[in-house]
Amino acid sequence: MSTSMLARRPTGARLQRKRRMRRDAGMTLVELMFATGIAAVTLSMVFASLLAIARVGELNESRLAASAAVSSLMEDINSMPFEDLLEYTPPALEVPGMRYYVSVECLLPPSEGTAGEEGVSATQGTAQTIPFPVPESYTEELPDPLEVLVTLTWHDDAGHTYQVKGSTVRGHT
């Protein structure tokens, strides 16, 4: 054999390097499927997080609107004469995409009123409430000062119920 033929033939180290380059040249199908699976799981978690953030943002907006409405109702209650307060009927609130329900009640001390009378209900086991306008069947004198409770309830598209409450104390004078 001539020396020129030996120079052309790859030696052991060169042969191993050449084989390694072929082996590392690309990805196998299994590696590609594994990488695609990891990417799919990661993307689904990112999109789920974005949806959750959007839902929380909508809830915060509706709570802010509800808090502003309760604040406005309490301001109206504080500014009206006490005689008008007893006949107060809360206005219907119109907010696109939301159904709001407003209740205004006065809180009576435990010793006053009788649970079971028309329009009088027991709350938290001791205190009692009377809805506004005060029913004609309620004949007892209201306490001075009188605590007025405002509750705004609403439902979202998923059927969840939320409430914002506020209270104020009104004197007869």
In the chain, pLDDT over 90 holds for what percent of residues? 16
In a domain, 6, yes or no: no
In a domain, 9, yes or no: no
Number of domains, the chain: 1
In a domain, 154, yes or no: yes
Most confident of 3-12, 79-88, 95-104, 127-136: 79-88
- pLDDT score of 46 more than 90: yes
Q: What pLDDT, on a 0 to 100 scale, did the predictor assign at position 43? A: 97
Q: How far, CA to CA in Å, does 107 sit from each of 17, 45, 77, 111?
A: 88, 48, 14, 12
Direct distance between the N- and C-terminal alpha carbons of the chain, in angstroms, rounded to an integer: 124
Q: Which tokens go with 89?
A: 């009927």
In a domain, 64, yes or no: yes
In a domain, 113, yes or no: yes
CA torsion angle for 129, 133, 139, 140 (degrees, to 10)?
A: 40
Amino acid making up residue 149? L
Q: Which domain holds residue 71?
A: 32-170
Instruction: Count other Cβ atoms within 10 Å, centred on residue 71.
Output: 13
Separation between Cα atoms, residue 50 and residue 44, nearest integer Å: 10
In a domain, 8, yes or no: no
In a domain, 58, yes or no: yes
Q: What pLDDT, on a 0 to 100 scale, did the predictor assign at position 3? A: 55
Q: How far is CA 47 from the centre of its chain?
A: 19
Task: Report residue 125's pLDDT band, with 50, 70 and 90 as the boundaries.
Answer: very low
pLDDT in tens, 129-165: 888 888 888 777 888 888 889 998 888 777 888 899 9
pLDDT in tens, 163-173: 999 988 888 76
In a domain, 3, yes or no: no
